[in-house]
């Protein structure tokens, strides 16, 4: 199998393509080669190769693979991967080729058909890789522990430019942190540096809940007049949010009525946040990138003013 001379830079895209091409006519041979190739791959490389290969399998190839127990087991494993949160490594990876392949695999696995088509056509796509963090972290000011990656396959460039980001709101915008008498609305928020209240009361308990953009694919365009005195981007169709209805700082099944498809509209933007040094992300649910790297983010976007944004929940 073709690989780079650099042992850290295997050509996982060629491995995936070869497997998908061989599987339909020679499934046993494809599986044997897959096992041989997989031995030398890291877990991230193996997962990336699997996502790339799975996206290219024809129905004929799937039928051929399912004819053996090892082939059927592999297909089940790959299908299960679509339903579980992917591991998000610290990006960028050791080489530009691996970084692009990893993010492309995420789009192929989790993006809508329109986003997948855009990727295959070499159009620019943004990928949001979220590591769940409590809204109470950093005294409610948010944490830049997520990634936003600008993928550009135009003219055969296949670049992946990685930026630190925050994709979740800080509790500084939660009504639970608001002063009330001599304390707070919610004592769990005593350490939060309250700014002002954002959000919507989903469960009619009299408290407006902060929200985050739900994982999925969204189409963004240039926001007229920008935001916070800088160029910014806004979804062209209504977005879906998740809300922290129980106030524990997390967005999960413990939050009744957390899915909010109606109140957000297109107000969860992509815009500049506070600098990394300031420790404040300025996110009340928007996707924010530190002000000190935001010019480089805009430069990577160029003049393109509309794009698919694929946001995934990882770990």
Query: Over the stretch 54-108, which tens digit does the pLDDT of each residue have?
Result: 999 999 999 999 999 999 999 999 999 999 999 999 999 989 999 999 999 999 9
Q: How far is CA 309 from CA 104, 287, 290, in A?
A: 12, 11, 18
> pLDDT at residue 1 above 70?
no
> pLDDT at residue 3 above 80?
no
Residue 3's SS3 state is: coil
| pLDDT (mean) for 279-292 | 98
**CA-wise closest residue to 168 among 2, 286, 44, 260:** 286
> Residue 110 in contact with residue 102, Cβ under 8 Å?
no
Find where tokens 């127990």 sit: 69
Residue 243 has a pLDDT of 97
Question: Is the bond preceding 92 in cis, omega lying within 30 degrees of 0?
Answer: yes
> pLDDT at residue 303 above 60?
yes
pLDDT digits (tens, 9 = 90+) for 94-152: 899 999 999 999 999 999 999 999 999 999 999 999 999 999 999 999 999 999 999 99
Residue 7 has a pLDDT of 56
Residue 155 has a pLDDT of 78
How would residue 157 be classed by pLDDT, with cut points 50, 70 and 90?
confident
| pLDDT (mean) for 3-8 | 52
| pLDDT (mean) for 158-172 | 97
> pLDDT at residue 257 above 70?
yes
pLDDT digits (tens, 9 = 90+) for 268-282: 999 999 999 999 999
pTM: 0.94
| pLDDT (mean) for 277-299 | 97
Q: Edge-to-edge strands of the sheet including 216-222?
A: 159-165, 146-152, 125-131, 306-314, 216-222, 233-235, 270-273, 287-290
For residue 91, what are the contacts with CB-CB under 8 A and spacing of at least 6?
99, 102, 129, 147, 149, 160, 162
How confident is the prediction for the chain on average, in pLDDT?
95
As a whole number of Å, the end-to-end CA separation of the chain is 31
The domain ranges of the chain are: 12-84, 112-314
DSSP lists the bridge partners of residue 125 as 151, 308
How would residue 256 be classed by pLDDT, with cut points 50, 70 and 90?
confident
pLDDT digits (tens, 9 = 90+) for 178-212: 998 878 899 999 999 999 999 999 999 999 999 99
Residue 4 has a pLDDT of 43
Alpha helices, H only, the chain: 12-23, 27-39, 43-56, 59-65, 69-81, 96-110, 113-120, 294-301
pLDDT digits (tens, 9 = 90+) for 23-49: 999 999 999 999 999 999 999 999 999
How would residue 8 be classed by pLDDT, with cut points 50, 70 and 90?
confident
H-helix or E-strand spanning residue 160:
strand 159-165
d(CA 80, CA 121): 27
Q: What is the 3-state secondary structure (H, E, C) of 220-286?
A: EEECCCCECCECCEEECCCCCEEECCCCCCCCCCCCCCCEECCCCCCCCCEEEECCCCCCCCCCCCC
d(CA 139, CA 129): 23
């Amino acid at each position: 199998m073709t690989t780079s001379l650099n042992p850290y830079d295997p050509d996982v895209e060629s491995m995936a393509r070869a497997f998908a091409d061989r599987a339909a006519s020679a499934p046993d041979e494809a599986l044997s080669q897959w096992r041989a190739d997989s031995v030398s791959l890291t877990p991230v490389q193996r997962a990336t190769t699997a996502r790339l290969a799975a996206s290219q399998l024809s129905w004929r190839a799937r039928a051929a693979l399912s004819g053996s127990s090892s082939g059927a087991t592999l297909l089940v494993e790959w299908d299960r991967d679509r339903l579980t949160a992917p591991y998000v490594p610290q990006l960028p990876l050791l080489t530009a080729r691996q970084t692009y392949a990893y993010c492309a695999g995420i789009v192929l696995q989790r993006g809508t058909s329109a986003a997948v088509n855009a990727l295959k056509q070499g159009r620019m796509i943004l990928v949001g890789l979220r590591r769940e963090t409590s809204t109470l972290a950093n005294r409610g000011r948010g944490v830049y522990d997520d990634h936003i990656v600008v993928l550009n396959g135009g003219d055969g460039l296949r670049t992946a430019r990685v930026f630190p980001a925050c994709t979740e709101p800080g509790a500084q915008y939660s009504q639970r942190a608001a002063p009330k008498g001599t304390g707070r609305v919610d004592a769990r928020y005593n350490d939060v540096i309250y700014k002002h209240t954002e959000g919507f009361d989903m469960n009619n308990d009299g408290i407006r809940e902060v929200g985050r953009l739900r994982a999925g694919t969204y189409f963004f365009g240039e926001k007229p007049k920008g935001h916070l005195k800088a160029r910014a981007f806004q979804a062209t169709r209504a977005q879906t949010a998740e809300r922290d209805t129980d106030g524990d700082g997390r967005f999960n099944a413990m939050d009744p009525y957390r899915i909010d498809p109606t109140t957000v509209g297109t107000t969860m933007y992509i815009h500049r946040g506070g600098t990394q040094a300031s420790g404040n992300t300025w996110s009340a649910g928007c996707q924010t990138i530190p002000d000190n790297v935001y010019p480089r983010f805009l430069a990577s976007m160029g003049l393109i003013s509309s794009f698919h944004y694929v946001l995934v929940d990882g770990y």
